Amino acid sequence: MGRDDLDVEVPNLSHEDDDDYFGGCPECGYPCRNDGYLNYVLTHYYVCHQHRVRWAVGSNLFSSWRHEDEAVWDANKALLLTYREVDPLEARWTLGNEVRR
């Protein structure tokens, strides 16, 4: 991916079509939004940087992790550990927690 900056900057992965499907920051409220996801190995965590929250959406749903390495995952992990785990808005993949408009 040519990402040299492994600090706190997150690549703009442009998953705008996925934003709603994979949930939004509960602190931001509607309309649903997030700042994309970070991988820890093959698990994807969506985040909101403003509110420093994260939620896992699954593993190996996207192939992006295959193009990353341990340095990226270590940096992502370090950042993700400073974020609070939350239940996202529109968590429609969670049984019993469907939210319909």
The answer to whether 86 contacts Zn ion (rule: CB under 5 A) is: no
Q: Work out whether 27 is an interface residue with Zn ion (CB under 5 A).
A: yes
Beta pairing class for 53-59 and 84-85: parallel
Site membership for Zn ion, residue 98 (CB under 5 A)? no
**Segment near Zn ion (CB under 5 A), from 14-22, 24-32, 35-43, 59-67?**
24-32
Nearer to Zn ion (CB atom), residue 50 or residue 60: 50
User: Residues 24, 36: contact at Cβ < 8 Å?
Assistant: no
Sign of CA dihedral 42, 76, 13, 100: positive
Q: What is the contact surface with Zn ion in residues (CB under 5 A)?
A: 25, 27-28, 48, 50-51
